[in-house]
Amino acid sequence: MKLTTHLHFGGNCAEALRFYEEHLGAKILFSMTYEQMPEPKNIPPGCEQGILHASIRIADTTIMAGDAPADRFQPMRSAYLALSVDSDEEAERIYALLADGGEVIMPITETFFALRFAMLRDKFGILWMLIHERPMPAGA
Protein backbone atom coordinates (compact mmCIF):
# COMPACT_ATOMS: atom_id res chain seq x y z
CA MET A 1 0.00 0.00 0.00
CA LYS A 2 1.18 3.53 -0.73
CA LEU A 3 -0.25 6.94 0.17
CA THR A 4 0.42 9.91 -2.11
CA THR A 5 -0.71 13.51 -1.87
CA HIS A 6 -2.59 14.91 -4.89
CA LEU A 7 -2.92 18.68 -5.22
CA HIS A 8 -5.69 20.32 -7.23
CA PHE A 9 -5.03 23.71 -8.77
CA GLY A 10 -7.42 26.21 -10.31
CA GLY A 11 -5.81 26.47 -13.75
CA ASN A 12 -2.29 27.37 -12.62
CA CYS A 13 -0.81 23.92 -11.97
CA ALA A 14 1.95 24.21 -14.61
CA GLU A 15 2.99 27.63 -13.28
CA ALA A 16 3.02 26.35 -9.69
CA LEU A 17 5.12 23.29 -10.53
CA ARG A 18 7.66 25.41 -12.43
CA PHE A 19 7.80 27.79 -9.43
CA TYR A 20 8.44 24.91 -7.01
CA GLU A 21 11.06 23.47 -9.37
CA GLU A 22 12.88 26.80 -9.62
CA HIS A 23 12.68 27.91 -6.00
CA LEU A 24 12.35 24.75 -3.88
CA GLY A 25 14.72 22.52 -5.84
CA ALA A 26 11.80 20.30 -6.88
CA LYS A 27 11.88 18.13 -10.00
CA ILE A 28 8.89 17.77 -12.33
CA LEU A 29 8.73 14.07 -13.16
CA PHE A 30 5.72 14.01 -15.52
CA SER A 31 3.18 16.42 -16.92
CA MET A 32 0.27 15.95 -19.35
CA THR A 33 -2.35 18.51 -20.37
CA TYR A 34 -6.01 17.66 -20.89
CA GLU A 35 -5.42 18.34 -24.59
CA GLN A 36 -2.69 15.64 -24.66
CA MET A 37 -4.95 12.91 -23.26
CA PRO A 38 -5.58 9.99 -25.62
CA GLU A 39 -8.87 9.52 -27.45
CA PRO A 40 -11.67 9.52 -26.60
CA LYS A 41 -11.09 12.94 -25.08
CA ASN A 42 -13.49 14.14 -22.43
CA ILE A 43 -12.10 17.60 -21.71
CA PRO A 44 -14.05 19.83 -19.33
CA PRO A 45 -14.73 23.24 -20.91
CA GLY A 46 -11.87 25.66 -20.26
CA CYS A 47 -9.38 22.94 -19.28
CA GLU A 48 -7.75 22.30 -22.68
CA GLN A 49 -4.39 23.78 -21.63
CA GLY A 50 -4.74 22.74 -17.99
CA ILE A 51 -2.75 19.91 -16.43
CA LEU A 52 -4.61 16.60 -16.40
CA HIS A 53 -1.91 14.82 -14.42
CA ALA A 54 1.56 15.67 -13.20
CA SER A 55 3.99 14.42 -10.62
CA ILE A 56 6.72 16.38 -8.90
CA ARG A 57 9.35 15.46 -6.35
CA ILE A 58 9.74 18.02 -3.56
CA ALA A 59 12.47 17.15 -1.06
CA ASP A 60 12.13 13.37 -0.76
CA THR A 61 8.40 13.21 -1.50
CA THR A 62 6.57 12.66 -4.78
CA ILE A 63 3.33 14.63 -5.11
CA MET A 64 0.75 14.30 -7.86
CA ALA A 65 -1.04 17.36 -9.18
CA GLY A 66 -3.50 18.63 -11.75
CA ASP A 67 -5.94 21.37 -12.61
CA ALA A 68 -9.53 20.92 -11.48
CA PRO A 69 -12.36 22.17 -13.68
CA ALA A 70 -13.44 25.64 -12.56
CA ASP A 71 -16.83 24.42 -11.30
CA ARG A 72 -15.13 21.87 -9.01
CA PHE A 73 -12.05 23.76 -7.82
CA GLN A 74 -11.81 24.89 -4.19
CA PRO A 75 -8.60 26.08 -2.51
CA MET A 76 -7.04 23.85 0.15
CA ARG A 77 -8.72 24.35 3.50
CA SER A 78 -7.33 22.21 6.30
CA ALA A 79 -4.44 20.13 4.97
CA TYR A 80 -0.92 21.56 4.84
CA LEU A 81 2.28 20.50 3.12
CA ALA A 82 4.84 20.52 5.94
CA LEU A 83 8.31 21.39 4.67
CA SER A 84 11.25 20.85 7.03
CA VAL A 85 14.49 22.73 6.36
CA ASP A 86 17.96 22.58 7.86
CA SER A 87 18.67 26.24 8.64
CA ASP A 88 17.06 29.49 9.71
CA GLU A 89 18.36 31.08 6.51
CA GLU A 90 16.65 28.48 4.32
CA ALA A 91 13.43 28.87 6.31
CA GLU A 92 13.52 32.66 5.87
CA ARG A 93 14.29 32.35 2.11
CA ILE A 94 11.46 29.91 1.43
CA TYR A 95 9.05 31.83 3.66
CA ALA A 96 9.67 35.01 1.64
CA LEU A 97 9.09 33.15 -1.65
CA LEU A 98 5.90 31.42 -0.55
CA ALA A 99 4.48 34.49 1.21
CA ASP A 100 4.96 36.71 -1.87
CA GLY A 101 1.48 37.05 -3.36
CA GLY A 102 0.09 34.60 -0.81
CA GLU A 103 -1.57 34.78 2.58
CA VAL A 104 0.36 34.54 5.85
CA ILE A 105 -1.57 32.57 8.44
CA MET A 106 1.19 32.53 11.08
CA PRO A 107 4.24 34.72 10.44
CA ILE A 108 7.64 33.07 10.65
CA THR A 109 8.79 33.02 14.25
CA GLU A 110 10.71 31.06 16.85
CA THR A 111 8.64 28.67 18.97
CA PHE A 112 9.30 26.17 21.74
CA PHE A 113 9.48 23.39 19.11
CA ALA A 114 11.13 25.23 16.22
CA LEU A 115 13.88 27.71 15.55
CA ARG A 116 11.66 28.93 12.69
CA PHE A 117 8.01 28.05 12.06
CA ALA A 118 5.38 29.56 9.77
CA MET A 119 2.01 28.73 8.23
CA LEU A 120 0.88 30.28 4.96
CA ARG A 121 -1.04 29.86 1.70
CA ASP A 122 1.09 30.49 -1.38
CA LYS A 123 -0.11 32.41 -4.45
CA PHE A 124 -1.23 29.13 -6.02
CA GLY A 125 -3.60 28.31 -3.15
CA ILE A 126 -1.44 25.63 -1.49
CA LEU A 127 -1.16 25.63 2.32
CA TRP A 128 2.33 25.22 3.76
CA MET A 129 3.86 24.71 7.19
CA LEU A 130 7.51 25.64 7.15
CA ILE A 131 9.72 24.42 9.98
CA HIS A 132 13.34 24.44 11.06
CA GLU A 133 13.00 22.13 14.02
CA ARG A 134 14.54 22.87 17.38
CA PRO A 135 16.71 20.03 18.69
CA MET A 136 14.76 18.37 21.49
CA PRO A 137 16.25 16.52 24.43
CA ALA A 138 16.21 12.74 24.22
CA GLY A 139 13.06 11.20 25.67
CA ALA A 140 11.07 14.43 25.35
Domains of the chain: residue spans and CATH: 6-67 (3.30.720.100), 81-133 (3.30.720.110)
pTM listed for this prediction: 0.90
Q: Is 79 helix (H, G, I), strand (E, B) or coil?
A: coil
The confidence score (pLDDT) of residue 139 equals 67
- Between CA 83 and CA 39 the distance in angstroms is 38
Which residues of the chain have a pLDDT value below 50?
none
The confidence score (pLDDT) of residue 18 equals 98
In single-letter form, the type of residue at position 83 comes to L
